[in-house]
Amino acid sequence: MQPEKLGDLLRVRSKAKIKLADVDAGETHGLNKEVAGEYLAKNVERLSVLQYQLYAEAKRSVLVVLQGIDAGGKDGTIRNVMTGMNPQGVRVMPFKVPEGDEKRHDYLWRVHKAVPEFGEIGIFNRSHYEEVLVVRVHNLVPRAMWSERYEQINQFESMLSANGTRIVKFMLYISKDEQAKRFHERLDDPAKRWKFSIADVKERQHWDEYIEAYEEMLERCSTKVAPWYLIPANKKWFRNLAVSQILADAMEDMKLAYPEPAGDLSKIEFE
């Protein structure tokens, strides 16, 4: 299979019924690690050029949303896919537990503040979708409140899209066994041990509830202007390839172009 088809294969269709138990988190769609590495390198180069065009044009922005099960590889995706980009034009925003002013505003206040400026790529490491995931699983607000947020989020993203922000959302899906394997790797590696938290064990106990929450999120919030892509992420090399391919294709679809010079450069002379 050609990587160019991954976008169509992995895109969640609007209002499609999703059953994550039926999704093979180790699926690679016939691709192998060697071929994936070659295409990833090409995509990293493509993204470098596309980012530069976006920055030069300065009339639109790109928002990348990364969600996933704990240990799903959000940090690794950022590190491997965005590696060729100029840090001047990229902002990574991690969304943790709200604090300070964030707790004294509506739940989208801090999100809107973090939306990338025109010319920038913004990457949300977790996002506003925590409001229908962890908030739902742990009953942090009444069901009547969080159940309204799917449509509120859709309207918010529709407004961003209409005003020049291209939104591409990735749900990194790993199996429960793979999560346990990665947790053990963190515990066994002194360089990774700092990433492990006792809270990870507690959250794992809510696996089924999170899966149900993710399924509804995908079903209700994959839209034409802000689609979800469900990425089988057990194989890190496939995850990186899929995200790089889909993001590069989405940015090429924007038909980015360098702006015209402000004047007639042919008459400029240097003494």
Q: Is residue 271 part of a domain?
A: no
In a 13 Å sphere around the CA of 86, the CA atoms on its Cβ side amount to 13
The pLDDT tens digits of the residues spanning 193-215 come to: 888 888 888 999 999 999 999 99
Residue 123's nearest CA partner among 85, 71, 155, 158 is: 85
The pLDDT tens digits of the residues spanning 150-196 come to: 999 999 999 999 999 999 999 999 999 999 999 999 999 998 888 88
pLDDT (average), residues 26-43: 97
Residue 158: Cβ within 10 Å count: 15
Domain that holds residue 195: 3-258
Q: What is the CATH number of the domain that holds 24?
A: 3.40.50.300
Q: Is residue 91 part of a domain?
A: yes
Q: Is residue 57 part of a domain?
A: yes
- Contact criterion met (CB below 8 Å) for 239 and 233: yes
Q: Is residue 269 part of a domain?
A: no
Q: Is residue 205 part of a domain?
A: yes
pTM of this prediction exceeds 0.85: yes
Q: Is residue 270 part of a domain?
A: no
Residue 48's nearest CA partner among 254, 200, 251, 214 is: 251
State how many domains the chain has.
Answer: 1
How many helices and strands (H and E) does the chain possess?
A: 11, 5
Q: Is residue 265 part of a domain?
A: no
Q: Is residue 226 part of a domain?
A: yes
